[in-house]
Chains A and B, each alone.
Chain A
């Protein structure tokens, strides 16, 4: 009985006290990529990993050349813990770094040999520092972090102190125009003469003089003051972050239960991106923040709960990226309406079964517009501001006067695209012809050149509207011509090749594929996408994409790449498969995406396959 109690206590103790690397991710992290080492190493052994050529460079970089012969295995890192890379930007500072487990501290400091121990004010926590980088060790986990105040904040505080001390504007101390206009050569000679005549001790250390605060040499100039402010702010922000993380024990996993849940996944890697916090920190929105504060708050609410969670799964013959895009109720309602669209089967007729890559995108813009109008207009109307009121009025009038049936009937929102590799296309070239006296004249003849073949089409209920535009254009220039089943726009692509437009079957299609325009204006018929592949596209949510890497690589135009790029492409031949993107049905809460990279050939596992591919590219490009 005593034995069972002991085991129970040990297990409980491990649960309560064992610190893991993920517990050291600060809550300021907005983006995190976490690699589950345990899971990954089951697929790729450390011995296999260190044998790759590209690892030599990683190890040299890591060990700084000071410990030759060492490998990643000797770095002291505990590969049974997760490795978490993070980044975040707050109002006042940016954080970046990674957390990892420690197996052997002595070995670890052979890697981090330029870090010096500094006094720690936190119990059971060690602090090391190297320039702006800080290494924080708690138990058997470490956090390597860099905290940098944003330059806007640094400037704001510096300016405040600078002016409070009675100084003048530091940026108008020089008359730059006058300086530019003066004879610079003469100026240089004069400065050199003055420098030569100066007593040795009076000579400035640097030839560049900073603006002084005043005549008192003990007073800092503007730049010195800014440096001091930056360092002080850096220390202050680091302390705030450490207090929160090490004293209050609030990590990202404690702050956001969605991240904590994601960490429990047994996949090889997880991804976390909090878009709602990204919006808060978006630099471009400062104008909104300043001019329309309540509108900005409403926008923030609209973007609340907007988060992207992902998993990386390595399977025997595939690599899978599973992503969940979450959003708040209001934004979700717009996406839900937009993505709830009936699949247009007509587009499948125009995708050839032998195509290299294609995508279908199926949305209802009209529904999305109506829902967005319902959600966003009240937000805009609430803003008590003359400029915003004028904008609201304009939008409301447009909403009333515009023929939405015609607009959204012409472009409904659904479209498709294909890449059909490289084909020879007809162009014109000039040749010189000679007479018997060797005089020559220019003659235009037909030529052929390689060109990537693309098709892009969108569904339309109002094919008559683009037809009106084309008819008008054909009256303006002879380069537009109606050929019956299709329109042609001569020399539209790179001033050399024609662009074909097909306006049939509720679709408006742009293509440079002459064969499609001339012979298949009503679709490919039996040569169209197979039923099996069509079903995949129809079954997917609003988006579906497929790339056949083997064919794409084979059909890459060699002429468009240099010798080195072609060598890399050659290396990828034979290591290729298919990539497929599917999406779930969009609900008001989320949309799921799945990106699957299937490969063929004999490999131990997908991790090994990826590393082989990476290594091939590294060896060739080295």
Chain B
């Protein structure tokens, strides 16, 4: 899931430097299985994206057509669906507002991480991606530990001041949902839902790039009632 964040950040930093909204929403059931929902909202950049899509190439690289992007999305979905422990993969996209949503069920957080790492490795031209060695989720039945790889800080330093300002206008929302109540969590930026079944942290791509620990959180759940 955090790998999605990683790729989205690269997308933000080097593709569309202005406002972007990302929601990563994970639901973990008591048995460790669950659902991941990941949404990327680029509707604030419609003009720019459409103007880029109207080009044949940009900075010497071919600009894909909408049909090619759709084909890539379908291929990504099929690859994910074929992975052990992953099911019900649904990708919803619209090229009018440029909103992309992915939803999938997983048997365990380990299966989820393995599947995502394998698919990214398959679609990536790079053979060894060091960031994929990082485990961003761990679950022992009573608590979940979430983190993010430290990959963006150095790249952000290369950006111009005005581009950095634009990064600050984006949103990154991380939501963790459970079947039982949250007892406590250790990230002071996080907030607890009214029903105490969900924890949310909101930040912007710039802050995230400056401090990858900003989303790090350990969430402790109440004991299972027999």
Contact = CB atoms under 8 A, between A and B. Distances in A.
Interface of A: 425, 427-432, 434, 436-438, 440, 442, 447, 449-451, 493-497, 558-560, 562-563, 566
B96 interface: yes
A562 B59 contact: yes
B46 A437 contact: no
B99 A563 contact: no
B128 interface: no
A430 B18 contact: no
B40 to A, nearest CB: 11
Given A437-B193, A449-B44, A494-B50, 9 more contacts: A429-B43, A437-B195, A438-B175, A438-B177, A438-B198, A494-B54, A495-B50, A496-B46, A558-B162
Contacts of B39: 432
B162 A429 contact: no
Contacts of B173: 432
A494 B46 contact: yes
B197 A449 contact: no
Nearest to A495: B50
Contacts of B198: 437-438
Contacts of B175: 438
User: 6 smallest A-B Cβ distances: which pairs?
Assistant: A494-B50, A436-B194, A496-B46, A429-B43, A430-B43, A449-B47
A3 B17 CA distance: 81
A428 B198 CA distance: 31
Contact of A559 (B17, B54, B195): B17
B196 to A, nearest CB: 10
Given A438-B175, A495-B96, A559-B18, A430 B51 contact: no
B41 A430 contact: yes
Interface string B193-216: 111011010000000000000000
User: Which of B50, B51, B54, B96 gathers the greatest number of chain A CB atoms within 10 Å?
Assistant: B51
Contacts of B97: 428-430
Contacts of A440: 23
Contacts of A437: 193-195, 197-198
A495 B162 CA distance: 26
Contacts of A559: 17-18, 48
A499 to B, nearest CB: 13
B162 A447 contact: no
Interface in B143-188: 160, 162, 173, 175, 177
A430 B45 CA distance: 11
B21 interface: yes
B47 A431 contact: no
A438 B200 contact: yes
Nearest to A440: B23
15 contacts: A429-B46, A430-B97, A431-B21, A432-B21, A432-B173, A437-B198, A438-B193, A447-B43, A447-B44, A449-B44, A493-B47, A494-B47, A495-B96, A560-B51, A566-B160
A497 B177 CA distance: 39
Nearest to B176: A438
A438 B17 CA distance: 27
A440 B173 CA distance: 11
A442 B59 CA distance: 34
Interface in B1-47: 17-18, 21, 23, 39, 41, 43-47
Given A494-B54, A495-B96, A427 B59 contact: no
A496 B47 contact: yes
Contacts of B47: 425, 427, 449-451, 493-494, 496-497
A449 B48 contact: yes
Nearest to A450: B47
Contact of A427 (B46, B54, B197): B46
Contacts of B162: 558
B51 A436 contact: no
B140 to A, nearest CB: 23
A495 B175 CA distance: 32
A314 B43 CA distance: 50
A449 B47 CA distance: 7
User: Which of A442, A559, A560 gathers the greatest number of chain B CB atoms within 10 Å?
Assistant: A559
User: Which of A430, A437, A438, A563 gathers the greatest number of chain B CB atoms within 10 Å?
Assistant: A438
B46 A495 contact: yes
Contacts of A494: 46-47, 50-51, 54
B48 A432 contact: no
Contacts of B200: 434, 438
Contacts of B197: 437
B150 to A, nearest CB: 24
B192 to A, nearest CB: 9
A425 B54 CA distance: 19
A451 B49 CA distance: 12
